[in-house]
Amino acid sequence: MKLLLWSWNVNGLRAALNKGFIEIIQKEQPDILGIQETKLQEHQIPEELNTLNEYLIYWSHSLRKGYSGTGLFTKLLPLSFSTGFGNPEFDNEGRINIAEYTEFIFFNIYFPNGQKDDERLNYKLRFYDRCLEVMEEKRTSGKIILVGGDFNTAHHPIDLANPKENEKTSGFLPIERAWLDKIAEMGWIDTFRYFDKSPEQYTWWSYRTKARPRNVGWRLDYFWVNKEGIEHIKKAGIRQDIEGSDHCPVFVELEI
């Protein structure tokens, strides 16, 4: 069975719905879709989503209004669904969906942005470390572990348009990049780079500078998989043709 998994930071689901979200999902038909930055509270879940009646939908909302939030749309019934790492400080911002299936476990994560101040950068780094612990715990199950989402860090100079200028910007700091180095060393694989070594493959473009038409972007959105699972990944890619957010969707095809 071949499954199509998507990750997409929608930058406000209600805004994305006004930009064709439903039509895109109906056309592309991912089997499992993780979204980030829903910016919803429980009572704000849009009714139009009922038209996507082939999906079960799970949510994790932030305690803070209009902020963060993640959602999982799935055609397959998961064995379990969780919204946290087991730590209130990481679980209260609606950043975590973990869905376990028979053959694999899917993490849909909206990693923190570290640009506001040092406290948030520190939070991002601690969130990274705790996430890796949970990834490694789940790895002991022997299942394929897929970690998708907005990681908020470009790994290598090839992963952003202006690496030199951004060496001191959160999102491309050495200490943030070092965590991606670490997971790679521990046997986790960036599925997109595994298949595609080409430059200019970005997933986010700033609205402020109208960066997208000029492709001045960053690759912040990923699917990582444990090396034991890579043989099941038949394809990985980026859908730069799809609009509706300042991020574009990324995907993998999983054969199980």
Q: Which is nearer to DNA, 49 or 76 (CB)?
A: 49
User: Which residues share a beta bridge with 221?
Assistant: 150
Among residues 43, 168, 197, 208, the one that binds DNA under rule CB under 7 A: 208
Smallest distance, DNA to C-beta of residue 43, A: 10
Residues touching DNA: how many (CB under 7 A)?
A: 21
Smallest distance, DNA to C-beta of residue 113, A: 4
Among residues 3, 6, 7, 11, the one that binds DNA under rule CB under 7 A: 11
C-alpha–C-alpha distance, residues 249 and 180, integer Å: 20
129 is catalytic: no
The site map against DNA for 139-178 (x = CB under 7 A) is ----------------------------------------
Q: Which stretch binds DNA (CB under 7 A): 8-16, 99-107, 227-235, 248-256?
A: 8-16
247 is catalytic: yes
Smallest distance, DNA to C-beta of residue 18, A: 7
Q: Which stretch binds DNA (CB under 7 A): 10-18, 49-57, 125-133, 134-142?
A: 10-18
Q: Which is nearer to DNA, 91 or 253 (CB)?
A: 91
C-alpha–C-alpha distance, residues 6 and 211, integer Å: 23
C-alpha–C-alpha distance, residues 138 and 100, integer Å: 10
Smallest distance, DNA to C-beta of residue 95, A: 10
The site map against DNA for 37-76 (x = CB under 7 A) is --x-x--x--------------------xxx---------
- Strands 80-82, 96-100: parallel, antiparallel or unpaired by DSSP? antiparallel
**Residue 116 interacts with DNA (CB under 7 A): yes or no:** yes
First-residue to last-residue Cα distance in the chain: 5
Q: Using CB under 7 A, which residues numbered 20 to 39 contact DNA?
A: 39
Q: Which is nearer to DNA, 67 or 194 (CB)?
A: 67
- Strands 2-9, 32-36: parallel, antiparallel or unpaired by DSSP? parallel
Binding-site residue positions for Mg(2+): 9, 37, 150, 152, 246-247
Smallest distance, DNA to C-beta of residue 45, A: 12
C-alpha–C-alpha distance, residues 71 and 66, integer Å: 14
For the annotated catalytic residues, the residue numbers are: 110, 150, 247
- Applying CB under 7 A, the residues found at the interface with DNA are 11-15, 19, 39, 41, 44, 65-67, 112-113, 115-116, 120, 207-208, 210, 246
